[in-house]
Structure 1
């Protein structure tokens, strides 16, 4: 779904998406976008920040109450505060105007290529559940709990957590996390990682100063605290 009030730009983005094999719907304002999202359940939402009636930040916040679609925020303002606000309500990535439609398509395709660890029909194998103290990360079900309490994460937040929990104690740089989660072809500000790490910590009840689960290694990157790991079936 393309949510953009500039009709010519919306049509241009839609044409590139259709060329890449997507079925596309267009919304010109925030209210229509939410109605269409409930009706069609899109996989990806390209969402302009400056929309009439309901701005992109509020659309994204409401969208996150019923959809786990990938959200790419478009903004005409390059100030960091706009990016942080957009990502803080659940956007996965952002693109500053003016931008190359090909770069936008590359980012969307990279997101869509992220592996979804679902079991094939008829295949039986051990279900992987990673345990780090009171934190449980169920890779196959994409479910997270802390002290048996469910934690709701966006797709990107879960993918960041999965990358960190793969090897507890191993430090991952921002560029390594970008490659693991957004893909090696992603181009942009690597501090995008810091924003999603902040969301993770808040939702896990973690604290940057204590780092009960996610620890900052100054000048290097981020590390998952070591803990008991488990595998269940």
Structure 2
């Protein structure tokens, strides 16, 4: 997609911050929409296609965490979280509900644009990846998963996975680089609310690593993001 066709939604209750970000992005030829809170953001997303969201965390009414959680129920658009606080708890909360990246205010225009370009590149690449996935084949860094035949090959070596292990690998390979919390994995794979599921998911992750990693203690494919969750390395 051409840059001038790319639509970015900026969500922040501070008008000056929204206008500043809009200036940075429009100068780089992106289309920009604005919303002052989570409720407005949800309305915009329903009315038109958005390719990336820049979302402030602290807002009156529906805040950034709540809005992101709602968006993630139906939409996989990349979300860049903004916060005036340089605290790990904000970062973890944002990533756990489905944000893709995190930026602390104040930030430089160059850093913002670099994050935006990187996230959009991953997003549009994943669009092609999902097209391949719909045909039943997922391939990533020497891993090959056939979702129709339910088989997996690691560096030309066929690996036998249980039904649950296969679902976990399929979830992670379908979204390379995205971090999934333990609750995300449990609710997606077991299809029920997560409750004290840490050990259940961890045991399955360990078994998967033993099957696909040459050295499970130093995994090449299935990585942990400490305090947040797991991802399949891009």
Q: Which runs of 4+ in 1 moved over 2 A?
A: 114-119, 126-137, 146-154, 195-210, 212-218, 220-225
Aligned-residue offset at 1:96: 0.9
Q: Which residue of 2 aligns with 1:101?
A: 109
Higher relative contact order (CA 8 A, sep 6+): 1
Other-structure match for 1:128: 137
Aligned residue in 2 for 1:48: 56
Report the CA distance shift for 1:59/1:127 in structure 2 as closer, same or farther (over 3 A): closer
How many residues are aligned here?
A: 176
Conserved 8 A contact 1:157-1:196? no
Whole-Å separation in 2 of the counterparts to 1:22 and 1:43: 10
Q: Which residue of 2 aligns with 1:208?
A: 202
Contact 2:136/2:146, CA 8 A, preserved across alignment:
no
- Structure number having the greater helix percentage: 2
Q: Output the aligned Cα RMSD.
A: 3.7
Aligned residue for 1:91?
99
* 1:1-233 to 2 correspondences below 5 Å: 1-114=9-122, 115-116=125-126, 118=128, 128-129=137-138, 130-131=144-145, 158-160=175-177, 196=180, 198=182, 201-202=185-186, 203-204=188-189, 207-210=201-204, 211-214=206-209, 217-218=216-217, 220-224=218-222
Specify whether residues 160 and 152 from structure 1 end up closer, same or farther in structure 2 by C-alpha distance, changes over 3 A only: same
CA shift at 1:150, angstroms? 9.9
Taking structure 2 as the reference length, what is the TM-score of the superposition?
A: 0.62
Which sections of structure 1, spanning at least 5 residues, go unmatched? 120-125, 138-145, 162-194, 226-233
The CA deviation string for residues 137-161 of structure 1, in whole angstroms up to 9 with x for no partner, is 9xxxxxxxx668799969x971237
Q: TM-score, normalised by structure 1?
A: 0.62
Structure 2 unmatched ranges of 5 or more: 1-8, 130-134, 139-143, 153-162, 191-199, 224-234
Counterpart of 1:171 in structure 2 is none
